[in-house]
Each structure stands twice: as structure tokens, then as C-alpha cells.
Amino acid sequence: MARFTRRARIGAGLALVTTAALALTACSGAADAAGGESDTDAATATSVEDFGSFADLEAAAKAEGQLNVIALPRDWANYGEILDLFAEKYPEITINEASPDVSSAEEIQAAETNKGLDTAPDVFDLGLTVALQNTDSFAPYQVQTWDEIPDALKEPTGLFVGDYGGYMSIGYDSSKYDAPTELADLLSADYKGAVAINGDPTQAGAAFAAVGLATVQSEGTLDDFQPGIDFFSELQTAGNMLKVDVTTATVASGETPVVFDWDYLNASHTADNPNWEVVVLDGTGYAGYYNQAINIDAPHPAAARLWQEFLYSDEVQNLWLKGGARPARMEAMTEAGTIDADLAAALPEVPEETVVPTEEQSENAGALLGEKWAAAVQ
């Protein structure tokens, strides 16, 4: 298991200091539990009640027989086990896994490119900035466990909802590098050509968070990401920035030996590299959640809604926890005694001070990155 350098432990989940965000669209009527047709238009259903019952939703999804997912790497937050469990639970529904390594922005592009086709994504898993920029692409839906999801993690109508989260960290091959104890360490010649981020911060949530972390670790605030952009510009000038998209394969091969990424993703690399260690720097920590959303033009709208119900069940929330991520319903499940206590206790320690960008901060940071990132790291 990866060794983490942390300062304090958070018990029931992320301490969020934010008020974060808040086809066949006319598919045939949903099948009822007996296999007939109901008057429900699955594409406009905003809750199970619109289908009649959960059994009616299951029947409608089984009648569609397909679920298109995108950008779900199987080694990301335990998605492999989650996908396999859905397939086992609903063998009548074929899961089509497309483009597992694309960015949040590319998920939206895929939906636009394939609009009206059976190949369009039914559901999205998105960083907050991209979610905020694309609400017109989502269909509102509130799962049965809606009330147990913190208000700070959900758009009020259900256009997008936080699903799992973690802390921005630095993973590194300890057989080649010493542990960085502060951000400035990465500017030294010891890290020449070695430091990568997970994607493009104008498109990918993990990379956006890396700039956010660099900002607050550089005595800046989330009101202005310029200090974080300046840090990565310095990293590029020093010759230490490695412009390679991070994957399990690049870490296993040693191609990306030092990586800014979410703690649960960095921790997973120990399976392929026993020397891989993970640090969350002292000082201010940066936390964030990814978000679920349903494509407003989903070709399989009932299956998309069943997938959401599945993800926010106790069983799957615990599977995200098993992957080292903190599920959205963790606090409520802890209170109810349905959280896996052993997995919760195994979560690494985290900084005492944690920040998460608000909706306005995310939008402003996205605009600033779009304007300045490319020139800063060219």
C-alpha cells in the first residue's frame, strides 16, 4: 500500500469549504414491470416516481438493452469492479465502454459528435468546471438517495451530482526520487524532465486541480489561479515538466515518474510499482469531486437513469471507497452504519486546511486557464 505523508485525518469524508455548484430523447414509452408499455417517457423522467417504481425503471432499462459509458478507466477509483457488478446484476443490459482515457471536455465533444446516434454517451463522469460549462447538455434526475447527498455536491435540480472525491497529491517513484516536501522542491534539477500532470487543465479535472493545488501552495487563493499557472511555467522553464498524458502504463513503465494526480489514483499505481509513494503536501490542501450527469440526448435514457441509481446505492458507494475515493454519501452512510468501516478507517490522513473551488471560482479559473495556460507552458 502506498505510504502517504499527511497531517490530519478526516473521518466521514471531505471537509468541503464551498457552496459548490450549484437521441432519441423521445424514446418509446418505458416498459412496465410485466413487460408491457407504460406512458412514461424515460428521457424526461426526473426520478423513479416518473416510472412508477424502481422495478418499472429496471424493466425499462432492460428493454433498451444497452448502456453507453465514456471516460471510465477500469483502474480509476475502482470503476472496473463497479462496471462488472452492473453487468452481473443486469445481464440483459450490455455496457459499451468507449474511450476510457479521454478528458471531461472530450466526453461532451463525443456527445455532440454522436448526437442522434445509438453510439452517443448515455452518461458522463465530469470535472466540475466542465460540468458547469455544459449544463444544457444534461437531463435533470434525482436518485432515490438524493437527500443523503450533501447540498454542496449537487446542482439543485439534479443536472449534475458529485459522486466521489479526493485530494490532489504528488506520486513519485521512491527508487529514483526523494519525497518532495514542498512545491518548490519540484523545480530543482533532481526532477529534470520528470514531473507530469494528468491531462490538460483546460479540459481535464485532475489537471485543473493540479493548478489549483499549485496556486494555494504558492500562497495564492482560488479567486485567482495565476500563481499556479506561474508555477507550472517555472517548471517548464526549468526543464522539469514532462508533457506526457499519465496512465497506469506510463507509471508502470517509468515514463511518468513524478505525477500530480488525485490521491486515490496515485495510490492505485502501487499495484504496478511497489516503489511508488504518494504525498499530499503540508499546508493548504486541494480537494474535489467528480460529477455524474445524464446526457440530455441519451440513446438509452432508462438505462442511464438506472446507472445513476446503481452508482448512488450503498454497495457502489462502498466500491468507490474501496478504490480509495471518498463517496458523496459517505457522511450519511457513516451515520446509518452502512459504510464499510474498515475501508473508511484505512483512508489516509489529509491536511487540516482544505479548499474546494466554488462555482464562480471554477468558472473564473477555467476562463483564465483558457487564456493563459498554453503560452505559459509552451
Q: Rounded to an integer, what distance in angstroms lies between the CA atom of residue 90 and that of residue 330?
A: 25
In CATH terms, are 23-165+291-345 and 167-287+353-376 the same topology? yes
Domain ranges for the chain, please list them. Answer: 23-165+291-345, 167-287+353-376
Extract the C-alpha cell encoding 324. 480509495
Extract the C-alpha cell encoding 234. 517555472
Q: Rounded to an integer, what distance in angstroms lies between the CA atom of residue 163 and that of residue 313?
A: 11
Q: What is the DSSP string of 300-345?
A: SHHHHHHHHHHHTSHHHHHHHHHTT-EETTHHHHHHHT-S-HHHHH
Give residues with Cβ within 8 angstroms of 215, minimum separation 6. 221, 222, 224, 225, 226, 227, 228, 231
Q: What is the mean pLDDT of each run of 10 residues along the chain (378 residues)?
A: 39 40 35 47 98 98 98 95 98 98 96 98 95 96 98 96 96 97 97 96 94 97 97 98 93 97 93 94 94 98 98 98 96 97 89 89 95 96
Query: Given this structure, which CATH class describes domain 23-165+291-345?
Result: alpha beta
For the beta carbon of residue 68, count every other beta carbon within 10 angstroms. 26
Give residues with Cβ within 8 angstroms of 111, minimum separation 6. 120, 121, 124, 137, 295, 297
CB-based contact 276:228 (threshold 8 Å): no
Q: Please tell me the predicted confidence (pLDDT) of residue 77.
A: 95
Extract the C-alpha cell encoding 143. 436518485
Query: Given this structure, which CATH class describes domain 167-287+353-376?
Result: alpha beta
Number of H helices, E strands in the chain: 13, 12
